[in-house]
Structure 1
């Protein structure tokens, strides 16, 4: 660790593995084309964009279809698919892959060869065999080749008919039977299986992640949901699988990814009637969250929060403390005061993060906040040991520090996990953005020799903190979309106040001096 630790960043502990997450993941969809735009590669690209990724596409098949059904399928030579895949991966790092319609055994073989060579970090396989309309989309002769491809996937997302076909069993008629089939497929392939309840009867519409090899917090993780009464479900499976690939590359946790994607897809179904596309089984509304309704849009709560912080970010960049830090002209006494307050702040912040861990609804989130709390204490200790201990700095509690910590403690005492997550987020998010900007400016200036804060500014290249920030944003986004209107309003208030305290915290050294 650097002798000048980063601003109150939460870092991975020494030697700790960091999930390979990315703020804007590059996601490749390998699937067939739907000229009506509701399913296949068109739905994949919409879903990837809607859930925060950069979408790419390799076409496996051309279909003649609309909302009423599929009338023809053309599968181009497998050699051309192989050329598409090579062209993409030779130039662009692929963070996640979603595999959909494959068509025939030669196409499957081309995909398998490419996967074994490139080995993307996230592979989601939607074994497209039968369309929602009942049309068969995979040649029977290719089923054996598809089964052999399954072990290369991290997540398999069959509908109930496809799940039964992969196992050679009758289709499950009940949710418990579907879960048992999911367990058998997970055991056979070693992959995680997403069992979907959308084709079952009843008002409930649960989904479940199933893995018998210890990849989840339990063998079966069920995420409940309500059935959305609509005929517009064209492309739902394509949309779900590509969104899961994107979320997993961004968040690094299957359970959190499903809890993030499921509310988005439910609202896409609920608002599908607004599109008025076709006379049959219409498409879902992938970009429902971009339609202004006067309320916080479902599915993009992180975007709402980021917009709320824009003015405060601008204010931070205009502060003399930040400019002096970047230029190397900041008086040392102001820097020392900042560090002293930071040490006090981190002690309180760690207690608040521990409270978030206690309230978290999933084991993955519990572990994330608990590790963050521990790392806060480690950074505080490093502040005292490496910098403050060599200077006569008395870390008396400053008024801004006290107000900020009191605000966070009040959020932790509110009993609302969502409100608490919103309150702690600016300490991740604003610092990550400010840090990235400062580090870039420092490098653009040629990393000048003799810069008194050079070592400090270099710490902003910390990829671990950027990845942790991405996870925190994802957790807050999921919490906001699942919250009630009243709780979402409280989240916004808590986030705004914390963002404002971030500005005041940076400005406090000037006021103190």
Structure 2
């Protein structure tokens, strides 16, 4: 959603968070900015999988990681050469030592090894009852090495109902059901439904081991806990030989983000683009001669400038440093936007007009509220130049809203009621506008400039690369995305925010990061709202 162009009906992203804020002690499954996440899994001395991958994923996803070791392995990027399982009583001692002192917000369970270990974990779970439990049923490594004794398979199946989310690979999904491995995506989804129905848990069906350019994942729950029995999140296959620890990383990140957001669908849409980036940049690590690890911290700027580094002396003495940090924070959500069906349909012209019209109607409502927020930024701005910039942007928002109604909405039957995502986004911006902090406010409004500009530029480039096909229903819309005035305004907004971050205190920079991340998250949800609205309209009314 750009405030400066009639093409400005597009929003922007959020990133796997690394913020710190509250320290409320509770075991209830409520959102936490820094969830305390316990990984129960085996150790990988090469650092790519197991506990080592779990702790990296938890940290990359904004959590505080803890670990209880179930097994020691001798392995590297070429495979597993040995496994040692310590006594189960010592695992129990580890688990009790953690939970007797620390409230555990989420648990990720990986390699368990044998029946005694599984029994120890089950007893602890039944006693502690963590708010979020993700079970990655590690039975067979990607290399083909068996990591669970066959005698323990029945005990593992009995553990499944204690999990909130189960994340098997396709081979493990078949083994848990006592069936052959699925050979196709529809077959895998059917297996996921059977496992979900049999356990009561949500199952994450992963398409990574299938052939083809697409790499979808799906959340499956037949008990009505999701917006549909099967929620598919599309993705592109990343061609790389470095996928060691992908399953461990995905499951621990899902546990962490779920403890932050409290929504499995939202969690998967957050984690999936982060993991895609970790695979895409894995070659930069240059670890091992076999199947190397993924790059867990690809989303952080180089040179150690992390959100933690914001408090160190001199970390932000260079112009542009804070903008670099924001850019890295937004990258995963920009990927998420490009993976949405709305964007794909808008690009190739297959987007149903009803969904596009709903999007425009919500954008018109949004822009009305956004103009008030920009006017508030103008009132708080410390210089005349910035006052004029924000005031001009506010005026443009109102003009765009009028144009939307005149050119599209007035000629079509469109629902104009305030949608839930639109309301949440505008409420967030209005809260930032009354915080009294100019710096926090400009950080909150920046995604509507920056990320929209990136999306618009890419969409226009794709349209041109396709030969600007005649008859494209959204051709006029796509042509307006190549707007140099808006690009210049975006650069101005980035510069203002960067300067505010440079001048601010560590506490204010932290608040700016939080506001920016939240706006980015709402941008992704805004793009996806038309699909959810269409799903609700097509869903049959419940039988009374």
Tell me the alpha carbon deviations over residues 81-123 of structure 1, each in whole angstroms, 9 at most, x when there is no partner: 0111111111111110000000001000111011111101100
- Are the aligned partners of 2:300 and 2:329 in contact in 1 as well (CA < 8 Å)? no
What's the secondary structure of 1:200's corresponding residue? Answer: coil
Tell me the alpha carbon deviations over residues 327-370 of structure 1, each in whole angstroms, 9 at most, x when there is no partner: xxxxxxxxxxxxxxxxxxxxxxxxxxxxxxx659xxxxx9xxx9
Change beyond 3 A, Cα 1:224–1:408: farther
The alignment status of 1:233 with 2:243, answered yes or no, reads: yes
Change beyond 3 A, Cα 1:118–1:411: farther
After superposition, residues 457-472 of structure 1 pair within 5 angstroms as none
Q: 1:110 and 1:198 mapped to 2: Cα distance? A: 31
The alignment status of 1:22 with 2:32, answered yes or no, reads: yes
Q: 2:453 and 2:57 mapped to 1: Cα distance? A: 19
Q: 1:485 and 1:292 mapped to 2: Cα distance? A: 27
What's the secondary structure of 1:127's corresponding residue? Answer: coil
Offset of residue 292 of structure 1: 3.6
TM-score (norm 1): 0.62
The alignment status of 1:153 with 2:163, answered yes or no, reads: yes
Offset of residue 484 of structure 1: 3.3
Q: Of the candidates 122, 128, 147, which is equivalent to residue 137 of structure 1?
A: 147
- Are the aligned partners of 1:64 and 1:71 in contact in 2 as well (CA < 8 Å)? yes
Q: 1:398 and 1:64 mapped to 2: Cα distance? A: 58
Q: 1:406 and 1:60 mapped to 2: Cα distance? A: 57
Q: 2:53 and 2:76 mapped to 1: Cα distance? A: 13
- Are the aligned partners of 1:132 and 1:234 in contact in 2 as well (CA < 8 Å)? yes
Q: 2:200 and 2:128 mapped to 1: Cα distance? A: 20
What's the secondary structure of 1:198's corresponding residue? Answer: coil
The alignment status of 1:484 with 2:455, answered yes or no, reads: yes
- Are the aligned partners of 1:408 and 1:424 in contact in 2 as well (CA < 8 Å)? no
Equivalent position of 1:245 in the other structure: 255
Equivalent position of 1:176 in the other structure: 186
Q: 2:36 and 2:209 mapped to 1: Cα distance? A: 31
Q: Of the candidates 74, 95, 104, which is equivalent to residue 105 of structure 2?
A: 95
What's the secondary structure of 1:289's corresponding residue? Answer: coil
After superposition, residues 214-363 of structure 1 pair within 5 angstroms as 214-292=224-302, 300-301=328-329, 359=359
Change beyond 3 A, Cα 1:406–1:92: same
- Structure 1 vs Structure 2 CA RMSD: 4.7
The alignment status of 1:59 with 2:30, answered yes or no, reads: no
Tell me the alpha carbon deviations over residues 247-290 of structure 1, each in whole angstroms, 9 at most, x when there is no partner: 10001100000000000000100000000000000000000112
- Are the aligned partners of 2:133 and 2:164 in contact in 1 as well (CA < 8 Å)? yes
Q: 1:481 and 1:66 mapped to 2: Cα distance? A: 42
Change beyond 3 A, Cα 1:493–1:94: farther
Aligned residues: 369
Change beyond 3 A, Cα 1:74–1:195: same
Tell me the alpha carbon deviations over residues 307-329 of structure 1, each in whole angstroms, 9 at most, x when there is no partner: xxxxxxxxxxxxxxxxxxxxxxx
Q: Of the candidates 112, 116, 128, which is equivalent to residue 118 of structure 1?
A: 128
Change beyond 3 A, Cα 1:75–1:433: farther
Change beyond 3 A, Cα 1:70–1:498: closer
What's the secondary structure of 2:198's corresponding residue? Answer: helix
Tell me the alpha carbon deviations over residues 447-468 of structure 1, each in whole angstroms, 9 at most, x when there is no partner: xxxxxxxxxxxxxxxxxxxxxx
What's the secondary structure of 1:56's corresponding residue? Answer: strand
The alignment status of 1:47 with 2:57, answered yes or no, reads: yes
Structure 1: 5+ residue stretches without partners: 1-17, 306-357, 361-365, 377-396, 435-472, 502-513
Q: 1:400 and 1:433 mapped to 2: Cα distance? A: 11
Change beyond 3 A, Cα 1:428–1:260: farther
TM-score (norm 2): 0.58
Q: 1:82 and 1:486 mapped to 2: Cα distance? A: 55
Change beyond 3 A, Cα 1:112–1:297: same
- Are the aligned partners of 1:264 and 1:298 in contact in 2 as well (CA < 8 Å)? no
The alignment status of 1:191 with 2:201, answered yes or no, reads: yes
Change beyond 3 A, Cα 1:495–1:116: farther
Tell me the alpha carbon deviations over residues 400-438 of structure 1, each in whole angstroms, 9 at most, x when there is no partner: 4996994795599599x999988864545687898xxxx
- Are the aligned partners of 1:426 and 1:499 in contact in 2 as well (CA < 8 Å)? no
Tell me the alpha carbon deviations over residues 31-61 of structure 1, each in whole angstroms, 9 at most, x when there is no partner: 0000000000000000000011110000000
Q: Runs of 4+ in structure 1 displaced over 2 angstroms?
A: 291-305, 397-415, 417-434, 479-501
Structure 2: 5+ residue stretches without partners: 1-27, 304-319, 334-357, 370-375, 381-389, 405-418, 438-443, 460-486, 501-544
